Structure 1
Amino acid sequence: MHPLIALAVGLLLGGGTAALLLSHPWASPADRRADPAAGPVGDTSLVRRLVDHMDPAVVLLASDDQVLIANPSARALGIVRDDRLLVHDLLDVARAVRAGGSHRADVALPGDLVGGGPRMVGVHGMRLDTTAGRSDGPVGLVLQDVTEARRVEAVRRDFVANVGHELKTPVGALALLAEATEDAADDPETVRRFAARMSHEADRLSRLVRELIDLSRLQGAEPMPDLAPVRVDDVVAEAVDRTRLAAAAKGITLAVGSGPDLVVRGVEAQLATAVTNLLANAVAYSPAGRKIAVGARARAGFAEIAVTDSGIGIPRSDRGRVFERFYRVDQSRASATGGTGLGLAIVKHVATNHGGSVTVWSEEGLGSTFTLRIPLAPAEPPPAPGGPGAPTPRGPRHLDALRAAVGSEQRGRRATDQPADEHPGVSVPQRDEAVTGPRWADTDRAAAAEDHQAEERRRDAGVPATTGTGDDGQQDGVAGAHPVSESRARTKGRS
């Protein structure tokens, strides 16, 4: 609360409460005559109206801690029942006020008392009877909800500490490598090896600083650029192109599903960064030689971009925290993956700034699916059938086949039928969906089953399935999905 506001509230509350107390039966006639302010504001209803209309919670306690007045804000917190204060820490504040005249403290209100989660309130207590030698008079408590303010302060402290820690690692490594290089000046091979390590650490430091700047911009440090129509295919193609080399280094195939030509309103660079981060995260936490699927579809006015891997999965205890800054599921793998711990936090803020969201489905040992949802752009009048610009018909279930691509790997590694769980902010599929990758709420399971049976019949009859072909000429076995070569990704990104 602003100091001037607090002073004004204190004067009004103190003067009005004094008049209220002097008007009560326990105040002697001599006390009433001794206080000239008791006359004009002696009406208790006037004081009650003043207190009731105050936003902060206000509680007035008699000398025996009986509640004289509690405004609606105080009663909404659940801290008052009848004429008693239910929180012992608030009574301790009242005792400290009687001993010292004024006291400030933060008090935690238990969640079962106030409803919902625990709340933190800042309490300012003041003694209302300032007569010399008296310390057992009435006390006023003003409570302000500071839960969010304290949370932000804690996040800021953690952020500064984490930034310092993350910067210390590459900077310290660069210092040691520079010293070692100087000592090995007569050994060209050692110098080259140390120079390569220095380049790696410099890249890591540069990436960390760049992502910190990106995150700061996304959190409002700079105005959000004007939104413009963006083709989802272009975003996915750009993200695949950025991730292709890292995936190739681990022998990982990036399978991209063909789908409808979706258009969203957004900032193309930010959306491409978000999808790139999802793909890079999937590559980092997938074993070599696996497959990562990425595809998009329209649902309920949103474009849903799903990235599915068959990697190590996310433990149940970590699923609600993966979008926090600097949070890593497996700290022991942090240096090996080379991540900064900021990638998924950036995805979350990109989604929020575009009016969308990001969710995660995961099971340990099976893999994960991250789904980015961005509002679709308003539809334009469709072109005449068969005329210029008319869309080419696409298969209605291109993502079902894409899901089967990664799902086949997950089924092959599923040892036990683990129960699915629900977690706040996490989209978790039911057990019969768990082995097929992403969870699409409006997927027609019966139709998907019919497609699967038809595919089995075609296979039995010797009819090949529709497959894509990679750079090596090998079929990937994914209907409606194909590995993306360097030339195709770049061509698609420029279209």
Structure 2
Amino acid sequence: MNEVISTLIAGVLGLALGIVGVIAFRLSQARSSKLPQVDEPVLPEGAAAVLSVIGRAFVILDDVDGVVRANPASYAYGLVRGHTLVHNELLSLVRQVRADGVIAESQYELQRSTLGAGQLIVHVRVAPLGDEYILLLADDRTEITRTEAMRNDFVANVSHELKTPVGAIGLLAEAITEAADDPKAVRRFSTRMDKESRRLAALVQDIIELSRLQASDAIVQGQEVNIDSVVAEAVDRSHLIAEEKGITITVGGHLEEPILGDADLLMTAIRNLIDNAIRYSPEHTTVGVGIRQRDGYAQISVTDQGPGISPEEQERVFERFYRVDSARSRQTGGTGLGLSIVKHVLANHGGEVSLWSQPGHGSTFTLRLPLADEEPATSNALAGQTMKERTIEASASDREGGRR
């Protein structure tokens, strides 16, 4: 009997709760129907289709500067966070266009985030969109601007470097003419002229070589290269300047596995390192060249007994035209481009160049190149890059390289 009563009571309670739930749902619907309806932003006809294929970051703002629509690129650039346009410079331009209705454009250098990590150079165009909205278009000009700056810097440096030997040759030619009756003076001036002309020829050749390396087709198709043969040729081409200073070049080790690349470019890079070592080594010393395989890479090291390089200077020796000792470099005939060429050759081959040096204890430059039949973990990402991307990376990482 008690069980029957309990069951009836539970049924009544369940029914009551169900009725209460239905009443609450109906009241909620009635209350919702009285709220104002908020429409989605209505863009002018055809605007959405155009924006979807425009290929630039875009942001649409309402009359209170709220972001009503933005594409993923605008978030990736850090222009928009949530429903807010982040940068005050852009907000000021938007308000100016809203006030006068005239299309405006400008270029800004902005931070990608509030943490200040990374700079972004954007060209912005702001225009009214219909009667209610403002359209902001942004184009990333960071890489273009940096490339133009590097090009201008390079042209200025080249002009300065060419002016010195060209001016010296002109003065020496004039001196020879005036000293025509003095054979000793003529020989002295002609010797100096020959030195300056060779320096000018080397500089022009290095400029041509560096320009070729920065072209997107620097290495169209890599071929198997025997490192031992490349090193032997580089050493052979450096024997003349080594003999002039009584310097011995010793080669140790060998590598049977080939690498993929351009033999001429690799020979140029290794020869530049050897020439650099000879120029900065004291007379009657030794320059060592080591070859070995390690962790799926070919390693070629060039060691000198020169004055060494301080830690502060080591970060800059690969910059174009940078010299640790400018006076000494000019005296030895350095062009200021040798180490930059080395860096670009290695970048184009998916490798790297590193430096160990200590003042008073010489320097060692080491080239690391992936072997043809190996797949080192660190080279997988490089394998997916185009030649142009690797060259741009090398350019962006330095402030435009050079020799000590």
TM-score (norm 2): 0.73
The one-letter amino acid paired with 2:83 is D
- Of residues 160-169 and 65-74 in structure 1, the stretch that sits farther from structure 2 once superposed is 65-74
Residue 88 of structure 1 is matched in structure 2 by 88
Q: Tell me which residue corresponds to 1:247.
A: 242
SS in 1 for 2:166: helix
Q: Which runs of 5+ in 1 are unaligned?
A: 1-22, 131-136, 380-423, 427-495
Partner of 2:204: 209
1:204 shift after superposition: 0.8
Residue aligning to 2:354: 359
Which residues in structure 2 correspond to 1:236-315 (within 5 Å)?
Answer: 236-315=231-310
Offset at 1:25?
7.0
Shift of 1:272: 1.5
SS at structure 1 position matched to 2:307 = coil
Deviations 1:196-230 (A, max 9, x none): 11111111111111122222222237663654433
CA RMSD of aligned residues (A): 3.3
Deviations 1:257-283 (A, max 9, x none): 133444333333222211010111122
SS of corresponding position for 1:304: strand
Q: How does 1:35-50 map to 2 (within 5 A)?
A: 47=48
Q: Is the 8 A contact 1:105 1:122 kept in 2?
A: yes
Counterpart secondary structure, 2:215: helix
Question: Cα gap change, 1:151/1:425 in structure 2, threshold over 3 Å: closer, same or farther?
Answer: closer
Q: 1:312 to 1:100 in 2, by over 3 A?
A: farther
Determine which structure has greater relative contact order: mean sequence separation of CA pairs < 8 Å that are 6+ residues apart, divided by chain length.
Answer: 2
Deviations 1:306-356 (A, max 9, x none): 112243333334434433332333334331232111111221222233333
What percentage of residue pairs aligned between the two structures are identical? 47
Please give the alpha-carbon distance, in whole angstroms, between the structure 2 residues aligned to 1:303 and 1:239: 16
Cα distance, 1:222–1:67 mapped onto 2, change above 3 Å: closer
Alignment of 1:402-481 (within 5 A): none
Give the total of aligned pairs.
Answer: 340
1:128 alignment counterpart: 129
Q: Is the 8 A contact 2:176 2:189 kept in 1?
A: yes
Q: CA deviation at 1:195?
A: 0.5
Amino acid aligned to 1:340? T
Look up the match of 1:69. 69
Task: Establish whether residue 200 from structure 1 lines up as the match of residue 211 from structure 2.
Answer: no
Partner of 2:79: 79
DSSP-derived class of the 1:360 partner: strand
Name the CA distance, whole Å, in 1 between partners of 2:58 and 2:312.
Answer: 39
Is the Cα contact below 8 Å between 1:359 and 1:425 reproduced in 2? no
The residue correspondences of 1:225-240 to structure 2 (distance < 5 A) are: 227-240=222-235
- C-alpha separation in 2, matches of 1:312 and 1:56: 52
Cα distance change of structure 1 residues 145 and 225 upon mapping to structure 2, 3 Å threshold? closer
Task: Return 166-175 or 208-217, whichever deviates more.
Answer: 208-217
SS of the residue corresponding to residue 114 of structure 2 reads: helix
| Counterpart residue identity of residue 85, structure 1 | L
Per-residue CA deviation, residues 398-439 of structure 1 (Å, 9 max, x unaligned), is xxxxxxxxxxxxxxxxxxxxxxxxxx989xxxxxxxxxxxxx
Cα distance in 2 for partners of 1:206, 1:253 equals: 26
Contact 1:58-1:140 at 8 Å conserved across structures = yes
Aligned match of 2:143 in 125, 144, 148?
A: 148
